[in-house]
Structure 1
Amino acid sequence: MNEVIHKIAEQYGIHPYKIEQVSERLFRISDGKHLYALKQSNLTESNLAFWEYIYHQAYSQNIQSILPVYLTKQSKLYAINNQSYYYLTPWLSSNKLDQQQVIRNLYNAIGEIHVKTKRTQFVQTDTLISTFTDYQKNSAELYKKELYFVELFEKNRFMSPFELLVCTQFRIMDNVLTVLNNCIDLFISQIQNDKEWNYSLCHGNLNLEHILHHNDTYILNWEKATYDNAIMDLSILLKQLVRNYDQSSSQLTDSFSAYTNHNKLKKSELYLLAIYLLNPYPYIKKIQDYIDNPSNDTMINQVKDLQFTSRQLLFGLKWFEFVEKEKSVKDNNKEN
C-alpha cells in the first residue's frame, strides 16, 4: 500500500518521509516538515463534479468551516489511482472541548454553511400538503400495529428483554404518534401561507466523527453532500447525537441559538424538523424484524438498537416542546 501512497503523493509534489494508516481509508503522511491527511474516498464519477463544486463554493463564498483540500500539480482537487479517487487535506490535531462548546461550535459551523449557500424557490404547496397528509394518515395506523405487538408479547408467559422493552415503551409510542399528528397539522397550517422553500448545501452525513476542532471548527468528508432543506442535515445530526446519553436534550436545545443566529429557520421548518425527529417507522421496523427473525442478532444488540431508536423519539418529543415554548415566547414579545 505504501507504494500506492507514494504514487499519489507524487501527484501533489510531496515526498513522504513517514506514512501511517489511521483507518481503512485514511492515511497520515509526513514529509519531515508538514503533516497531511490523505483520504481514499468513496466518490464515483457520477458525484465527483458536485463534490468539486462544493470546494469551489467554499472558496468563492469564503466558507471557512469546510476544511480545504490541496491541489495536485495539475491543479485538480483529487488524484486517481486504480479507479479510486483520493484527496489531500492538512492534518490538524483536534482540541479537547467540553460537550457544550463542541455543540455550539458545530451549530455555528453548519449554520454558517447553510446560510451562505441558501437558495429560495417557489413550491407547489398543494403537492407538499398532500404528501404530508398521506404520511399523517399512514402514521396514525401505526398505533394499531404497536398495540398488536404489545398484545402479542404479553401472551408469552416469559417475555424476552426485547419484548419487555416494547411493552414498557408503549405509552411513549402512543405519545409520539399523538404529537406527530399535531405537529403535521401545524406544519401544514404554516406551509399553506408560505410559497417558498429553502435549499442549502447539506453535508448528508453530519456527525461528531466529521467535526474537527482546531483553531477553528471544520466539517470534514463532503462525499455525500447534496442541496436540500437545511432540516435534512439537522435531523441527521440530532438523531446521531441523542443515540447515546453523552448529550442531554437541554444541551442541544439550549445551544440551538448558535445555529439560528446564522441561519434563521421559519416556523414551518422548525415543525418539519420535529416531524423528522418523531419518525416512528424505524422503531416499528425493528419490532417487525424481531418478530420475523428473532435470532437474526443477539438479544443484547436488538435491545440496544431499539433503545437507541426510542431515545431519538424521546428527543423528538423534547424538541417539539422546545419549539412550542420558543413560539410562545416570541408571540408574547410581539404582544408586548
Structure 2
Amino acid sequence: MEAEAILQYYSLHVNYVENYGKVKKIYSDKGVFALKTISPHAGMDFFRNIQHLYQRGYNRIVPIYPAVDGRYAVLDNGKLYYLMPWLLDKETEERDERHMRLFRELARMHALSVKEIPVNKENREEHYQQTTEQWKKQREFIEEFVHSCEKKWYMSPFELLFCMYFTDILQALKYAEKKLEEWYEKTKDDEKVRTVVTHGKLSIQHFIYDDRGYGHFINLEDSKIVPPHFDLLPFLVTSARTYPTQGDEYVNWLYNYLTYFPLREEEMLLFQSYLAYPGSSIQSVRNYFEKKGGKSELAYVSQLQRQYWLLKNIEYVVTKIEEMEQKKKEAAQDEQPQE
C-alpha cells in the first residue's frame, strides 16, 4: 500500500487507512494522523512559509511531523508527502463567533509575519496604468452595450435586466477607479510595501479546533508572501456570494481583524478599490455579448442576477467601511492639538 510505504519513514505501523481526496486518515500504532500530498514545486514555498511562521512565534498551524531522518516531507513518485495530527474539530460555537476567531487568528498570523520589502516605482506605475486602462475599456464596453440595448424596440430579458442594473454597476466601477487613483497618488513615491505570509485558501473549513479549543489553520499549501488583502478579499467576496443580505457580519469580521492588525491608509484604499470593483458583473455581460458557453437566455439572466446580488451585498459592505474610515479620520483630526 502506498501509505504504508511512506509511513515507514515515520516508524509508524499502519492499522487502517481512510481516503479523503488528497488526505489520507491514518490509524496507526501511535495514534491517528493525516497524510497529505503536495507537488514539489508548490511544496518549496509551503514549507519555507511554514518555517518562517514558526520562527516568528506563530504556532496556530496544525504541526507537521518530521520523518525519522529529520525531513518534513517524503518525495515519492513525483509527489511530496507530509504528516500531521488528525484534529477532530468538535467545536460547536455559533457561526459568527467562529468567523471572529478566524479573523483574529489571521490578524495574528499576518502581524507576526509582516515584513516591508522594496518595491520598484516603475512597476507600481505600470500596474496602476494597466489596471486603469483595463477598467476604462470595461466601462466603455458596458456603456456602449447599454446604449445598443436602449435603441432596440424589444429588448431581450437579459438586456432589459442589464439596463436596470447598469447604474449600480457603473457606480461601483467609478468608486473602484476613484479609490485606485487615491491609492496611487498616496504611494507613487513609496519605496517599500508591507507583505505578510498569507494563508492562500482562507476558509472557515480550513480553521479547525484541537481538543483544548484552540483554533488552528490547515491547508496552507497556497500560502504566499504578499500584501494582506490577498487573504481578506477572496474570503469576503466568497461570503457575499449569496442572496441579498445586509452584510454587517462581514464588516464585523473585517474590523475584528483590523483591531489586531490595522491596515495602513494606502492599504485600505487599495482594499476598498478591489473590493468594490464589479468584475464578475461585467464579465457576465461580456459572456452574454460574446455568447460564451452556449447558455440559454434564462441561464444568462440567472447568472447576471446572481452577480448583481453579489454587487449589492458588497456595496453594503463598502459603504459601511467608507463610513467607518471617515469617522476614524474625523476622530483623528479632533485629537490633533489646536493652534
Using the size of structure 2 for normalisation, the TM-score is 0.85
Contact 2:198 2:228 in 1 (8 A): yes
Query: 2:109 — aligned with what?
Result: 113
Task: Compute the displacement of 1:141 (Å).
Answer: 3.5
Query: 2:254 — aligned with what?
Result: 256
Residue 255 and residue 288 in structure 1: after superposition, are their counterparts in 2 closer, same or farther (change >3 A)? closer
Say which of 83, 86, 103 aligns to 1:88.
Answer: 83
Say which of 181, 187, 190 aligns to 2:183.
Answer: 187
Task: Compute the displacement of 1:269 (Å).
Answer: 0.5
Contact 2:245 2:313 in 1 (8 A): no
- Which segments of 5 or more consecutive residues in structure 1 lack a partner in the other structure? none
Task: Compute the displacement of 1:54 (Å).
Answer: 2.0
Query: 2:218 — aligned with what?
Result: 220
After superposition, residues 1-336 of structure 1 pair within 5 angstroms as: 3-22=1-20, 24-31=21-28, 34-41=31-38, 43-44=39-40, 46-94=41-89, 95-125=91-121, 127-129=123-125, 131-152=127-148, 155=152, 157=154, 159-160=156-157, 162-192=158-188, 194-214=190-210, 215-245=213-243, 249-293=247-291, 295-297=293-295, 302=300, 305-334=303-332, 335-336=334-335
Residues 246-276 of structure 1, C-alpha deviations (whole Å, 9 max, x = no match): 9852111123232123222101111111122
Contact 1:111 1:262 in 2 (8 A): yes
What is the rounded CA distance, in whole Å, between the counterparts of 1:150 and 1:81 in structure 2? 56
Residue 67 and residue 246 in structure 1: after superposition, are their counterparts in 2 closer, same or farther (change >3 A)? farther
Q: What secondary structure is seen at the aligned counterpart in 1 of 2:4?
A: helix
- Which segments of 5 or more consecutive residues in structure 2 lack a partner in the other structure? none
Residues 90-113 of structure 1, C-alpha deviations (whole Å, 9 max, x = no match): 111222332211221111111111
Contact 1:242 1:248 in 2 (8 A): no
What is the rounded CA distance, in whole Å, between the counterparts of 1:147 and 1:177 in structure 2? 12
Question: Which range moved further: 326-335 or 217-226?
Answer: 326-335
Residue 277 and residue 331 in structure 1: after superposition, are their counterparts in 2 closer, same or farther (change >3 A)? closer
Question: CA RMSD of the aligned region, Å?
Answer: 2.8
Task: Compute the displacement of 1:150 (Å).
Answer: 3.7
What is the rounded CA distance, in whole Å, between the counterparts of 1:285 and 1:187 in structure 2? 25
Q: What secondary structure is seen at the aligned counterpart in 2 of 1:18?
A: strand
Residues 95-137 of structure 1, C-alpha deviations (whole Å, 9 max, x = no match): 2332211221111111111111111134344642453244234
Residue 213 and residue 242 in structure 1: after superposition, are their counterparts in 2 closer, same or farther (change >3 A)? farther
Residues 56-113 of structure 1, C-alpha deviations (whole Å, 9 max, x = no match): 2232222122221111122111122221112111111222332211221111111111
Residue 93 and residue 138 in structure 1: after superposition, are their counterparts in 2 closer, same or farther (change >3 A)? same
> Match of 1:180, as an amino acid?
A
Question: Which range moved further: 202-211 or 286-295?
Answer: 286-295
Residue 213 and residue 297 in structure 1: after superposition, are their counterparts in 2 closer, same or farther (change >3 A)? farther
What is the rounded CA distance, in whole Å, between the counterparts of 2:254 and 2:296 in structure 1? 37
Residue 243 and residue 114 in structure 1: after superposition, are their counterparts in 2 closer, same or farther (change >3 A)? same
Residue 79 and residue 255 in structure 1: after superposition, are their counterparts in 2 closer, same or farther (change >3 A)? same
Contact 1:25 1:40 in 2 (8 A): yes
Using the size of structure 1 for normalisation, the TM-score is 0.86
What is the rounded CA distance, in whole Å, between the counterparts of 2:170 and 2:162 in structure 1? 12
Residue 299 and residue 204 in structure 1: after superposition, are their counterparts in 2 closer, same or farther (change >3 A)? farther
